[in-house]
Amino acid sequence: MNYTYILKCSDDTYYTGWTNHLKKRIDVHNRGCGSKYTRGRTPVELVYYEEFETKEEAMSREAAIKKLTRKEKEKLVKEAAISERYIEK
């Protein structure tokens, strides 16, 4: 399975990425090794994700989400919380 995800960083910004192992990727981000952007913004929290069969689909969705405004991303996150499409702590 492949995932597109949104993280909420410690500075209240959002980071969007894709992976084929969601929990492991979040752990890598929190260790400061996930991406240059999140490196100085830990801890990060998973606030949204979608599942895809192929990495191409996940990468395409990542690109689409990155083009959204912050307000549009907040709407996705809010809707995910309502539909429980997130990982509980």
Comparing CA positions, the residue from 11, 41, 21 lying closest to residue 87 is 21
Per residue in 18-60, pLDDT (tens digit) is 999 999 999 999 999 989 999 999 999 999 999 999 999 999 9
| CA–CA dist 6, 51 (Å, integer) | 12
Contacts of residue 62, Cβ cutoff 8 Å, sequence gap at least 6? 4, 16, 17, 18
**Comparing 72 with 89, which gets the higher pLDDT?**
72
State the Rg of the chain over Cα: 12
pTM: 0.89
Distance in angstroms (rounded) separating the CA atoms of residues 3 and 5: 6
